[in-house]
Structure 1
Amino acid sequence: MIWIANPGMSTLEVEQRIEIAARRQSRLREDPNLGVEILVSEAALRHRVGGGAVMSEQLRYLAEVSELPNVSVRAIPFSATHVGLDVGLFVLLEFPEQRSAWMSEPPVVYVQGHTSDQYLERPDEIARYQDAGIRIGQSALSEAATRDLVLKIAKEHDEQR
């Protein structure tokens, strides 16, 4: 996917991005205070990025990670019509309160674009994305139903090799 989006990127830059992603993933197991809630469209689970074998492996990994106590993965099925179809992809970063106010960090919304990224910090923008996250979550499957769906789709990718 990195080369598809950035065809001129060097192998070294791609490897560096992969290394950074791997380090972020390892933190989920190492830091129980780091919590992640993922709301993912069923479409993202079904796209055959890298082929059936790659997708099957990635989905099985997702199902495994979703069992960690600090990770929640919930899928929005094709059958759901939800505000996420209008809002698009975003990451809401919320930080724990610190003992002193000056050490605390306010929430931030990260919106990745094709040519640039945005970091939104204004309280009214944050509130709109928090509301969108809640509304998208209302359309999502439970964690257990999502894990079942993810493993079912992984099997489908295996069968289509």
Structure 2
Amino acid sequence: MAERRSPPVRARQLARELRRLREIEGLTGEEVAGSLGWSSAKVSRVETAATLVRPGDLGKLIDLYHVTGSHRERLLAMARGAEERGWWDAFPDVGSDYADYIGLEAETQALRCYSAQSLNGLLQTEEYARALIGMVVDPAPGRVERRVDVRLRRQRRLREEPPVDLHVVLDEAAIRRRVGGPAVMKAQLEHLSALAEMPNVVIQVLPFDAGAHAAMAGSFITLKFPHPQTDMVFVELLRGSVYVEDEMEVYRYHLAFEQLRERAIPPDESSAFIRRAADEM
């Protein structure tokens, strides 16, 4: 049976925002419960995403917190998004963790990615994706191809209106590692050069001689949303993934990316670097 997508990340986004709004109003959970005729436990469940807030209850909360206009509409849209199903649900091999990420990627305004060992999925050619996925996914009949299809479908995000604003810092290791062999990697690097010409895509290379840096621990992706308090960081692990949602921790990743960006080769020079690497394949 296909694994049904769960909504914990989107729900946590909404829950965190509701808690922030309560704190801005200077209210305690008990005071909110008293104003709305709820139990304190219900307020706690809503603010910890232990339960999805119902539309009627959400309306009462945002009225209490004096939220109006576009901010109000965004909160209502977040609540709807926590329950909606996306195109990725048609693929039986997309697990809940991956589906959560795709859903967030579909909604984000901007992505800031540091890729240490392999290229971000939005940048991959079909052949590169197939070679990479085949190494990390159980090669059951059709499973790799379905994962490749999902990855290529995600890439429409670069061209849909409005397109996502993508800024990637690639470690030189991701450029030099011959995923799929020299021919596949050469085509992949030529594809990178073409993508770098898009107005919404910036690609920089962090060369080996840049030395140690703030992201030696590995790759990460910062997802930026219309309201900065809902930004988050995605860190993929060998098995599973982690979302960093604490505002201060997200800010630290932002600073790390800025350091990487400053130490990386400028975009124009990076394109030339990638073309030279392709010629060397």
Return the TM-score normalized by structure 1.
Answer: 0.86
Correspondence for 1:5: 136
Q: Does 1:133 align with 2:133?
A: no
Please say which structure displays the higher CA radius of gyration: 2
CA contact (8 A) 2:215 2:256 kept: no
Distance 2:143 2:244 in 1: 27
Q: Counterparts of 1:27-106 in structure 2 under 5 Å?
A: 27-97=157-227, 106=230
| Seq. identity, % | 33
State the secondary structure of the residue aligned to 2:204. strand
CA-based RMSD of the aligned residues comes to 1.7
CA contact (8 A) 1:82 1:135 kept: no
Q: Does 1:150 align with 2:274?
A: yes
Return the TM-score normalized by structure 2.
Answer: 0.51
Q: Which runs of 5+ in 1 are unaligned?
A: 98-103
Q: Which runs of 5+ in 2 are unaligned?
A: 1-131
State the secondary structure of the residue aligned to 1:87. coil
Shift of 1:88: 1.2
Q: What amino acid sits opposite 1:143 in the alignment?
A: P
Shift of 1:52: 0.5
CA contact (8 A) 1:76 1:140 kept: yes
* Structure with bigger RCO (C-alpha 8 Å, 6+ apart): 1
Pick aligned residue for 2:243 from 114, 119, 123: 119
**Runs (4+) of structure 1 moved beyond 4 Å?**
none
